[in-house]
Structure 1
Amino acid sequence: MTLGTPSAPRPLAGRRCGFVPPYLLRRLGWEQTLSLDAGFRAARPGPASAPPPLAARATAAWTVHDAGATTTLPGRPVRRAGEGATGDPAVDEAATGIAASLALFADVYGRDSYDDAGAPVSLTVHYGRDYANAFWDGTQLVFGDGDGEVFGRFTAAVDVLAHELAHAVTERSAGLVYQGQSGALNESVSDVFAACLAQRLLGQSPQEADWLIGADIFLPGVAARGLRDMRAPGTAYDDPRLGTDPQPGHLDDYVETSEDNGGVHLNSGIPNRAFQLAAVAVGGSSAEGAGAIWYAALTGGRVGPRTDFAGFAAATVAAAGVHADAVGAAWEQVGVTPRAGGSRAGEDGAVGRGADPGRRLTVRRTGGFAGLRAEADLDLDADDDPRAAEARSLLERVDLAAAAARAEEPGGADRFVYDVDVAGTHVRVPEQALGADLARLVEVVLRPPGDPA
């Protein structure tokens, strides 16, 4: 949904916490984005309520900062709550989006900011150069301007703003660990409240909504209705550069992988579909109907850091009251039987402890808001590839053992994760733990030969 036009229907074609998932990174050979990523994740059915004004009634203060195409956070403060438009589209979109997102949580769920204690919200726009991602880093919301080929500004879609703020809400409530099923739930909860906000602003019922996430971040010419389709996971896009949307919509198709913190951006399609089915069955608006049930489950004490799909489903059924049967049936339709307890954190992957430079070096990047996956390898002895000499020099300085020690916890919400393989050693490191030399190393490998530094 494009900010500034809340009453207009959003187009189905050409739309846009990292927000971009790993499996898409394989399809795109981004340049500056790759390097900058390395520098651091109840009522019966009836008419929907009228769309509220975009100005939030929440008490939380917020400040938008401008990073000026650098990776320095938070950047220069450029607009605060209560101040007028600046004329910079990214700044003003971020301001409108955070105001609307805070209003959703305040007006519908009675939550005062992401911590329910009125914490001020910090946002940064114009992060990096050609940076195609958005993320919550545990302190603030960060948005890139896109690569200019596939993605435009990540602030242009209000659901991206709500998605990232919801990561902060989840962190300060259930604390769902960003790995495996609990991580997929973390991602799904963000999509749930993103969809609730978009529908709220458009005055749509669950039956009327398109249920697309990230529909306004794609540039013209990209064959994508959106980044994810909560109603029909696996159908959001089919594009030569992106490939085909690989999200599953049923537990039978759950993807076991060590990438992207256990496939959190892939497997979120399963609980996403459950919510869409529940929203239609419960009726009313998605925010005040099924959304209120999901919020009560998230914050009610039944959901903990390692809760799996079945445990989260049980919490929503317990919170659903007269709609318990409808909510339970929605989960059953995606192959999840509600039950308390249980966990499935996913694979952690092997971690190497130091290595000498070898003949080949492979770098793989997964994660991010859109889940794109990028991979490249480098012949370290290649005389005709100018990257090889710099890579050899960096490998002599990189402390892989120290990198492995920094990589014990999963990456942050929508942040990127890097796998580095060299001389038989494998290290997995979240972007915020790379360090300067390893960050430069992955940049060098992922940059196509002949491209400027």
Structure 2
Amino acid sequence: MSRARPINCIIPPYILDKLLDSEDSEVRRAALDTLLVTARLRGERAVRASFAGAAAPGDGRRTVFDCEQAETLSSAVLARPEDGPEVADPSVNRAFDALGLTRDFYKEVFQRNSVDDRGMRLDGYVHFGFQVNNAFWDGRQMLFGDGDGKEFSNLTGSLEVIAHELTHGVTDNTSEFEYHNQSGALNESMSDVFGSLVKQWSLKQTAEEADWLIGADVWTPGIGGDALRSMKDPGHAFDNPQFGKDHQPDRMSKFIHLPDAKRGDFGGVHYNSGIPNKAFFLTAQHIGGFAWEAAGTIWYESLKASSAQDQFQDFAGTTFQKAGELFGAGSAEQSAVLSAWQEVEVPVKGVPTGVARVRRFAANGNGATGRGDGQAALARQIGALNDKISELAKDLAALKGAK
């Protein structure tokens, strides 16, 4: 049974909970207001979800509105339409530009027509509420808080944060990963992956050049070198007296079990997303070059092929299968995918754990005589494993359909 989706927001609840303990009364008040706003938006989204129909298509046209620190969208004033000029308010221009970059990334890289692939309008609302420490995707549009100026700066200041939130819309219209436990962590991870890729694409950075950080530009403006999350090094995005140490795990043996409730981050979706995040980072590093080209395509095609209740191992198997379909069984790209998931301790069903290590050894040229024969044999072995995985996927789909 499908579950109602909560409001998607970039700031995890445990960060806001920490702010409630701040010695600064203004920071405490901003955190409380943010939590109250989030709860209200969650209720509004649940009501909208009960009605049929989708947002009207508009060729991905952008429109930015100014809430003027109110929390009602109906009173917001038009600030910049798609064909409008740059305005004096930098928040408006940053939101407008980031919406456009995200839209253009999906169109140029994946031939996707806006977040729903049907030309959905991209509406953004800046200056939402007073010192709200969050950015939201409510299933229909983007809302940006100004931040409290101490722990958070204006939330329009981070391209990957905006692309992260819009990618929740892409997930809503593809896999529909349910927002709890492992499927919820996959949901969050997809937004981090493509949020980071939008930034890398806009800067034309290779996987080696990218910082792989999420939210560094808007979180703790007075502290340098930290971020909400690090895809390269989950668990090491931050470590300071105010928030403590980043507890994101980077492998299954460190998986964090939390209650499947709002106070438990719906089973730790913002925590455990570090595991698939690290798998994507490793895949991109093993392949090299621009991460959106090979690794990003594998992940995007896998997102479209996934189901709402898929777990980490399901998605790992899908990425392995898609890598084989896109680049060939036994290819360097498929071996990179397999090796990455094995490094974060998520096995691909039917594939022995030693296969990826042997394949990478051969690909790196460390073999002596007979290297070509060894590579051919490994390609045949991985091809056979691909066939087995395809059969398992068909059997699983049949079982799900019979329920």
CA distance in structure 1 between the aligned counterparts of 2:127 and 2:31, rounded to whole angstroms: 12
Residue 60 of structure 2 aligns to a residue whose secondary structure is coil
Residue 337 of structure 1 corresponds to which residue in structure 2?
347
Residue 79 of structure 2 aligns to a residue whose secondary structure is strand
| Superposed CA offset, 1:96-148 (max 9, x none) | 10000001100000000011011111111111111001111111111111111
Residue 324 of structure 1 corresponds to which residue in structure 2?
334
* Deviation for aligned residue 1:292: 0.8
Residue 194 of structure 2 corresponds to which residue in structure 1?
193
Residue 68 of structure 1 corresponds to which residue in structure 2?
68
* Deviation for aligned residue 1:35: 2.2
* Deviation for aligned residue 1:281: 1.4
Aligned length in residues? 306
Residue 35 of structure 2 corresponds to which residue in structure 1?
37
Query: Match of 1:31, as an amino acid?
Result: R
CA distance in structure 1 between the aligned counterparts of 2:225 and 2:150, rounded to whole angstroms: 13
* Deviation for aligned residue 1:65: 1.3
* Deviation for aligned residue 1:270: 0.4
Please state which structure has a larger fraction of its residues in strand.
Answer: 1
CA distance in structure 1 between the aligned counterparts of 2:131 and 2:349, rounded to whole angstroms: 44
* Deviation for aligned residue 1:59: 4.3
Query: Match of 2:73, as an amino acid?
Result: L
Residue 215 of structure 1 corresponds to which residue in structure 2?
216
CA distance in structure 1 between the aligned counterparts of 2:186 and 2:17, rounded to whole angstroms: 24
1:277 aligns with 2:278: no
CA distance in structure 2 between the aligned counterparts of 1:219 and 1:248, rounded to whole angstroms: 22
Query: Match of 2:10, as an amino acid?
Result: F
* Deviation for aligned residue 1:223: 5.3
Q: How does 1:177-188 map to 2 (within 5 A)?
A: 177-188=178-189
Residue 294 of structure 1 corresponds to which residue in structure 2?
299
Residue 130 of structure 1 aligns to a residue whose secondary structure is coil
1:312 aligns with 2:315: yes
Q: How does 1:7-22 map to 2 (within 5 A)?
A: 17-22=8-13
Deviates more, 1:172-181 or 1:25-34: 25-34
CA distance in structure 1 between the aligned counterparts of 2:200 and 2:224, rounded to whole angstroms: 23
* Deviation for aligned residue 1:222: 2.5
| Superposed CA offset, 1:41-77 (max 9, x none) | 7xxxxxxxxxxxxxxxx94111111111111125222
Please state which structure has a larger fraction of its residues in helix.
Answer: 2
* Deviation for aligned residue 1:179: 0.5
1:26 aligns with 2:17: yes
Q: How does 1:91-110 map to 2 (within 5 A)?
A: 91-110=92-111
Residue 117 of structure 2 aligns to a residue whose secondary structure is coil
CA 1:285 to 1:76, structure 2 compared with 1: closer, same or farther past 3 Å?
A: same
| Superposed CA offset, 1:267-301 (max 9, x none) | 000000000000111223111120111000011x3
| Superposed CA offset, 1:348-389 (max 9, x none) | xxxxxxxxxxxxxxxxxxxxxxxxxxxxxxxxxxxxxxxxxx
Maintained 8 Å contact 2:64/2:126: yes
RMSD in angstroms over aligned alpha carbons?
1.6
1:266 aligns with 2:271: yes
Maintained 8 Å contact 2:164/2:192: yes
Maintained 8 Å contact 1:33/1:129: no
Residue 64 of structure 1 aligns to a residue whose secondary structure is strand
CA distance in structure 2 between the aligned counterparts of 1:240 and 1:223, rounded to whole angstroms: 14
Maintained 8 Å contact 2:167/2:191: yes
Maintained 8 Å contact 2:16/2:31: no
Structure 1 residue ranges (4+ consecutive) displaced by more than 6 angstroms after TM superposition: none
Higher relative contact order (CA 8 A, sep 6+): 1
| Superposed CA offset, 1:287-337 (max 9, x none) | 1120111000011x3x11110100011111111123222101101100101
TM-score, normalising length: structure 2: 0.73
Maintained 8 Å contact 2:298/2:323: yes
TM-score, normalising length: structure 1: 0.65
1:150 aligns with 2:148: no
Query: Match of 2:80, as an amino acid?
Result: R
Maintained 8 Å contact 2:251/2:344: yes
CA distance in structure 1 between the aligned counterparts of 2:308 and 2:84, rounded to whole angstroms: 38
Residue 78 of structure 1 aligns to a residue whose secondary structure is strand
CA distance in structure 2 between the aligned counterparts of 1:219 and 1:260, rounded to whole angstroms: 21
Residue 73 of structure 2 aligns to a residue whose secondary structure is coil
Residue 173 of structure 2 corresponds to which residue in structure 1?
172
Query: Match of 1:20, as an amino acid?
Result: I
Maintained 8 Å contact 1:277/1:330: yes
Query: Match of 2:17, as an amino acid?
Result: R
Maintained 8 Å contact 1:218/1:224: no
* Deviation for aligned residue 1:219: 4.2
CA distance in structure 2 between the aligned counterparts of 1:65 and 1:338, rounded to whole angstroms: 46
Query: Match of 1:156, as an amino acid?
Result: G
* Deviation for aligned residue 1:82: 2.3
Query: Match of 1:336, as an amino acid?
Result: V
Maintained 8 Å contact 1:79/1:91: yes
CA distance in structure 2 between the aligned counterparts of 1:228 and 1:211, rounded to whole angstroms: 9
